[in-house]
Amino acid sequence: MEVLLLSENVPPLEGNLKVLLRHSHFTFLVDGISRACSHQLVRHRPASYSQQSQRYVAMKNFPYVIPESVRKKKVEIEGKTYSYNDVMMFIGKFYEALVEEEVPKEDARFVLPNACTTRIVFTMNGEELIHFLRLRTCTRAQWEIRKVAIKMLKILREKHPSLFKSVGPNCYYLGYCTEGKKSCGRQKEMKAYFSSLCKEMI
């Protein structure tokens, strides 16, 4: 996964931080994330997105994300044992055979999995970016989008320490957890992690 800050515009407005954030814009490129992850990203509405097309781009030997939890798993189906990679390879061959049979790519892509990687460019203003980061750096967020959010936050902290030093999950940003019964209960650990953000993701 690659996360790049392509461009930013932070106007020289003094005073009200909310106003400054509203008029700031940040454009990120995220490459090599799964479609499962990009689907979660685009649920954030006050933003603009441009995503690699599966209608026009041929997915030959399609790249895919492997979650750690399935990496070493083997599953038996009707007496035969399959790995995750076996299934991906089969899907890839089936997709390519459909395209060779002149099935339009926009239809052949129906067999492609959520794991298939994608590239997406998006622009958010500062207010929305902070909303996104508060939700998606939390341990309640799914691991892949959380990884994206933490990488984004690391870049933003380096470029604009004063704007982003207090940003992280709600337990860090607000000082208390908003997740109720679903809280991870690790507020202390999270606060320590998001104060420095130098270690590997926890």
Query: CB of 132: closest distance to ligand FAD in angstroms?
Result: 6
Residue found under tokens 């060779």:
100
Identify the residue among 116, 133, 135, 163 touching ligand FAD (CB under 6 A): 135
Q: Are 97 and 106 in contact (CB under 8 A)?
A: no
User: In the complex with ligand FAD, which residue's Cβ is closer, 128 or 144?
Assistant: 128
The answer to whether residues 8 and 25 touch, using CB atoms and an 8 Å cutoff, is yes
4 binds ligand FAD (CB under 6 A): no
The Cα–Cα gap between 41 and 48 comes to 11
CB 13 within 8 A of CB 120: no
With binding defined as CB under 6 A, does residue 43 bind ligand FAD?
yes
**Closer residue to ligand FAD in complex, CB, 117/139:** 139
Least distance from C-beta 165 to ligand FAD, angstroms? 22
Do β-strands 74-77 and 80-83 pair in parallel, antiparallel, or remain unpaired? Answer: antiparallel
CA-CA distance, 157 to 167, in Å (whole number)?
9
Decide: is 22 part of the binding site for ligand FAD (CB under 6 A).
no
Least Å from the CB of residue 86 to ligand FAD: 29
- Give 57 or 174: the residue with its C-beta nearer to ligand FAD: 174
Q: What would the two tokens of residue 151 be?
A: 């990488």
CB of 14 vs ligand FAD, minimal distance in Å: 26
Residue 123, φ and ψ in degrees, nearest 5? -125, 130
Does residue 39 bind ligand FAD (CB under 6 A)? no
Count residues binding ligand FAD (CB under 6 A): 10
> In DSSP terms, which residues pair with 48 in a beta bridge?
123
- The residues assigned a catalytic role are 136
Chain residues binding ligand FAD by CB under 6 A are 43-46, 128, 131-132, 135, 140-141
